[in-house]
């Protein structure tokens, strides 16, 4: 079993500093250990693509990283793998695309239908995850009414635990992680026709968050193998009873909120959206 921490942003900005990558790798080595896999899934299309390229270049320069299949970096000194990914916004909520090749990205827009974003990721051989499923900006409420996207094979896994979804009230639930686990157990786990796995996510936005949440996956083929994208996707889909480590963090949520939406007014507006569950109003 390998520890997989697939939902890491490293920071809440649009660039990466070498000291952040150095701290990120040191913490990953200590908290996850040799043979582990980390996913860097930055936000918003081309911005995320540039940020990921920066990260890989710093890893190659400072940590002798080798890049395989244009989608993964291997750090030989720490025996760690880093997968390139992306978090995208859609009209129904956020998604993660893991294993994207450098130079490719998924559109990110509140006007983009969820199924279109998922299809873009699948065409690019990426594994798809519905993150913070019943939390703020999660796609859970839409999927609950449109189960077809699960049956069509567009979704690889549902993130039933998110470190930043610690109990802030949303339009759908007061305890999003608890609700997501119950929803998954009721609607997906025991249905053999739905090949959608369960995974935990740290949703980390600083180097210290790596390893605070992880999922154990039985991975025997590593990303240097050209068949890894399909293999990883199959293992992810088969993981219908997540095991690993979970945690939540109110300080991390507040820190990320201030960094992303900017100061007191931004935080106040963001919390208002979160509590009321308001979205763009666009048709999904």
Across all residues in the chain, what is the average pLDDT? 85
User: For residue 24, how far is the Cα from the chain centroid?
Assistant: 16
How confident is the model at residue 267, as a pLDDT?
46
Residues 6+ apart with CB under 8 A from 22: 62, 63
Torsion of CA 45, 105, 165, 266, to 10 degrees: 0
Q: What is the pLDDT of residue 82?
A: 94
In a domain, 230, yes or no: yes
Please name the residues in contact with 173: beta carbons below 8 A apart, sequence gap of 6 or more. 134, 179
- A 10 A CB-CB count for 155 gives 27
CA distance 209 to 228: 26
Contact 97, 88 (CB under 8 A): yes
pLDDT at 266: 46
* Residues of the chain predicted below pLDDT 70: 44-48, 166-173, 250-284
- The C-alpha atoms of residue 6 and residue 215 are separated, in whole angstroms, by 8
pLDDT value of residue 172: 61
Q: Is residue 154 part of a domain?
A: yes
Q: What is the pLDDT of residue 13?
A: 73
Q: Is residue 198 part of a domain?
A: yes
Which pLDDT score, from 0 to 100, does residue 50 have?
78
Residue 239 within any structural domain of the chain: yes
282 domain residue, yes or no: no
Secondary structure string (H, E, C) spanning the chain: CEEEEEEECCCCCCCCCHHHHHHHHHHHHHHCCCCCEEEEEEECHHHHHHHHHHHHHHHHHHHCCEEECCCEEEECCCCEEEEEEEEEECCCCEEEEECCCCCCCCCCCCCCCHHHHHHHHHHCCCEEEECCCCCCCCCHHHHHHCCHHHHCCCCCEEEEEECCCCCCCCCCCCCHHHHHHHHHHHHCCCCCCCCCEEEEECCECCHHHCCCCEEEECCCCCCCCCCHHHHHHHHHHHCCCCCEECCCCHHHHHHHHHHHHCHHHHHHHHHHHHHHCCCCCCCC
Domain of residue 76 covers 2-276
Please state the φ and ψ torsions of residue 82, each to the nearest 5 degrees: -125, 120
Structure pTM?
Answer: 0.87
Q: What is the pLDDT of residue 283?
A: 34
> 281 in a domain, yes or no?
no
283 lies in a domain? no
The CATH number covering residue 153 comes to 3.20.20.140
Predicted confidence at residue 213, as pLDDT, reads 94
Asked, for residue 284, whether it belongs to a domain, the answer is no
Number of domains in the chain: 1
Cα maximum dimension of the chain: 49
């Amino acid at each position: 079993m390998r520890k997989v921490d697939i939902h890491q942003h490293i920071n809440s900005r649009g660039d990466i500093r070498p000291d952040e990558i150095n701290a990120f790798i040191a913490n990953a080595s200590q908290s996850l250990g040799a043979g582990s896999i980390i996913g860097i899934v930055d936000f918003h299309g081309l911005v995320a693509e540039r940020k990921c390229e920066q990260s890989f270049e710093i890893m190659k320069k400072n940590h002798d990283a080798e890049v395989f299949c244009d989608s993964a970096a291997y750090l030989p000194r720490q025996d760690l793998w880093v997968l390139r990914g992306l978090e995208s916004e859609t009209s129904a909520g956020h998604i993660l695309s893991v294993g994207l090749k450098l130079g490719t990205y998924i559109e990110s827009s509140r006007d983009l239908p969820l199924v279109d974003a998922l299809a873009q990721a699948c065409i690019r051989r990426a594994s798809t995850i519905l993150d913070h499923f019943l939390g703020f900006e999660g796609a859970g409420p839409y999927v609950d009414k449109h189960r077809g996207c699960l049956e069509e094979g567009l979704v690889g896994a549902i993130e039933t635990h998110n470190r930043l979804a610690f109990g802030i009230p949303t339009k759908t639930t007061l305890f999003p992680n608890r609700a997501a686990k119950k929803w998954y157990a009721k609607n997906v786990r025991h249905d053999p026709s739905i090949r959608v796995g369960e995974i935990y996510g740290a949703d980390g936005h600083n180097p210290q968050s790596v390893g605070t949440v992880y999922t154990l996956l039985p991975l025997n083929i590593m990303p240097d193998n050209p068949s890894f994208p399909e293999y990883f996707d199959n293992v992810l889909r088969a993981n219908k009873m997540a095991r690993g480590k979970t945690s939540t963090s109110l300080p991390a949520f507040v820190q990320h909120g201030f960094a992303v939406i900017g100061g007191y007014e931004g935080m106040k507006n963001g919390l208002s959206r979160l509590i009321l569950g308001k979205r763009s109003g666009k048709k999904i």
